[in-house]
Structure 1
Amino acid sequence: RPESRARPPTRAAGKRCRVHPAASPGPGAALPRKAQGAPVTDALYAAGFQSSSRFYAGADAMLGMAPARFRSGGAGEEIRFAVAACSLGAILVASTGRGICAILMGDDPEALVHDLQDRFPKARLVGADAGFERTVALVVGFVEAPRLGLDLPLDVRGTAFQQRVWEALRAIPAGVTVSYTELAQRIGSPNAVRAVAGACAANPVAVAIPCHRVVRNDGGLSGYRWGIARKRALIDREKNDA
């Protein structure tokens, strides 16, 4: 196993991210150690993959069964996903047959895939195909150039209160920020500021539901699950790109 894990290349701001291609080891290469309960990363590197994102991009084609489905016996629905790299780091986009169910951002592609598995432990995770790459490109294009807009169907599940907050978030225009207090007032629950902040933190689709547009009463930044630096970058980019 390599001492350091490969990271996807980071593109300069304004350039489109590229979905990582599938790797080429033979069918079933990662299956034996995974079947024995070895850690996911051990199975990846034992199979000769140079990065975990390459494994997950091709896992379904190689194994006929994605890692999450292997663990759960195939229960639940099918979720397509891909990991790409952009100016803000790694980004994972996942979709059910009804719409986007997760947009996750971070520094480590493997951590994003584990996050997706934790969110949908009984789903069948399917590596991206050429058709899904267009969806990923639309998400990445919006991250890099907010003026392009993002109009994709969503399949997000939450409590009735969370859904109200998320709908209110989608009504905030790019380049505009509101406070948690103001957002609570907009949904008719002025005393539920902390609950509103919790709903923002529970948002599973970064940028598509723009929780990064919510700030403290004094305009300061706080409470962004994908990192304050990314929140600041998204807000600044939207203001400059409006």
Structure 2
Amino acid sequence: MTSDYSRIEKAIEFIHAHKLKQPLLSEVAAHVHLSEHHFQRMFSRWAGISPKRYLQFLTLEHAKVQLEANVSVVESAFAAGLSGSSRLHDLFISMEGVTPGDFKTDGEGLFIRYGFHETHFGFSFVATTDRGVCKVDFINNNDKECSAAVSQLQKLWKNAELIHDQSATLGVADALFSAQQDALTLVVKGTNFQIQVWKALLSIPPGAVTTYQAIANAIGKPKAVRAVASAIGANPVAHLIPCHRVIRGSGELGGYRWGLPRKAAMLACESS
């Protein structure tokens, strides 16, 4: 699975870099050292759409169509009290900030179980507590990055006890990209402003996109676009808090903490 994603990621990078030239299937296949037939089958199996359709998705015109159709999703969701606007938010994902006591003690008495898992979009680091999921990162599968992920988690929760437990986090990893997810609760540590932004992200339905400005409007701080972007970049739970669904007002995909090809791939898969 991870090796397939690695090849697909290289293909996505190539397609994204050359999208204005509309590269042929043969050119993309050659870039990842596969035959056209093998590449077409691998890409379609992985993404659920053909390389040609994926290229169409990446064009600026397509992004603008999505933007025009969905820019008001977050504002509408807030106006309706976040009710009925998002299947993902209503049925699968709920989120709570840590208590003031947890924040003050840096997780003293808290047990956090973590594990490393292969997923549809690459190797991941997952951490969970008895109250819910507190961390999901995409990392490279090597000792250095695995060790760094654990160190960063310990830095965030200085007094918590970290336990390597693959079985405890396997269910979360399996649910990340499952169409039939069990209900998941997220427990996150952030400022009040960050948590406001992360909650707003949960109201964006799968396959839709919105903008940084729309998120700022939705939380009642229309002039805080840069702060919103910063809060989105600090998202501690990849994919489940869907920061990949926020793009620039111009229609460009913008940046993504876990790699622009991964962001583009997630949006394409959700759209398909």
TM-score by length of 1: 0.63
In 1, Cα distance between the equivalents of 2:115 and 2:236?
Answer: 15
Aligned match of 1:97: 130
Q: CA deviation at 1:83?
A: 0.7
Residue 113 of structure 1 deviates from its aligned partner by: 4.2
Q: CA deviation at 1:194?
A: 0.4
Q: What is residue 249 of structure 2 aligned with on the other side?
A: 217
Q: Secondary structure at the match of 1:218?
A: coil
Question: Is 2:13 the partner of 1:13?
Answer: no
Say yes or no: does 1:157 pair with 2:189.
yes
- Is the 1:91–1:104 Cα contact (8 Å) retained in structure 2? yes
Answering whether residue 203 of structure 2 is matched by residue 182 of structure 1, we say no
- Counting aligned pairs with the same residue, the percent is 36
Structure 2 counterpart of 1:87, from 120, 124, 130: 120
For 1:133 and 1:151, the matched residues in 2 are separated by 15
Alignment coverage as a number of residue pairs? 171
Q: Is contact 2:2–2:121 with CA below 8 Å preserved after alignment?
A: no
SS of equivalent residue, structure 1 residue 91 = strand
Alignment of structure 1 residues 112-127 onto 2, 5 Å: 112-121=146-155, 122=158, 123-127=160-164
**Whole-Å Cα distance in 1 between the matches of residues 269 and 182 of structure 2?**
15
Partner of residue 137 from structure 1, selected from 156, 167, 174? 174
Instruction: Output one character per residue of 1:89-148: Cα deviation in whole Å (capped at 9) or x when no partner.
Output: 211111012110000013235414412322323332212243542222112x33xxxx43
Question: Judging changes above 3 Å, is the alpha-carbon distance between structure 1 residues 131 and 100 closer, same or farther for their aligned structure 2 residues?
Answer: closer
Tell me the CA shift for residue 237 of structure 1: 0.6
Distance 1:150 1:193, change over 3 A: farther
Q: Deviations over 1:176-230 (max 9, x none)?
A: 0001111111111110000000010010000110000000001111221101011
Q: Which has the higher contact order (CA 8 A, sep 6+)?
A: 2
2: CA distance, partners of 1:100 / 1:113: 19
Deviation string, structure 1 residues 42-93 (Cα, Å, up to 9, x no partner): xxxxxxxxxxxxxxxxxxxxxxxxxxxxxxxxx6532111111133221111
RMSD of aligned Cα (Å): 2.6
- State the match for 1:167 in structure 2: 199
Distance in 2 (CA, whole Å) between partners of 1:214 and 1:154 is: 20
- 2-structure distance, mates of 1:149, 1:191: 36
For residues 200 and 227 of structure 1, what CA distance do their matches in structure 2 show? 14
Contact 1:82 1:136 in 2 (8 A): no
Partner of 1:106: 139
Give the 3 Å change call, closer, same or farther, for CA 216–205 of structure 1 in structure 2: same
Are 1:77 and 2:114 an aligned pair?
no
Give the gaps of 5 or more residues in structure 1.
1-6, 16-74
**Mapped partners of 1:231, 1:192: distance in 2:** 23
1:227 alignment partner AA: G
Is 2:127–2:169's contact at 8 Å kept on the other side of the alignment? no
SS in 1 for 2:185: coil
Per the alignment, in what secondary structure is the counterpart of residue 149 of structure 2?
Answer: helix
Show the counterpart of 1:232. 264
Q: How does 1:40-79 map to 2 (within 5 A)?
A: 77-79=110-112
Structure 2: which amino acid aligns with 1:137?
Answer: D
Q: Structure 1 pair 236/8, CA: closer, same or farther in 2 (3 Å)?
A: closer
Aligned to 1:53: none
- TM-score computed with the length of structure 2 as normaliser: 0.57
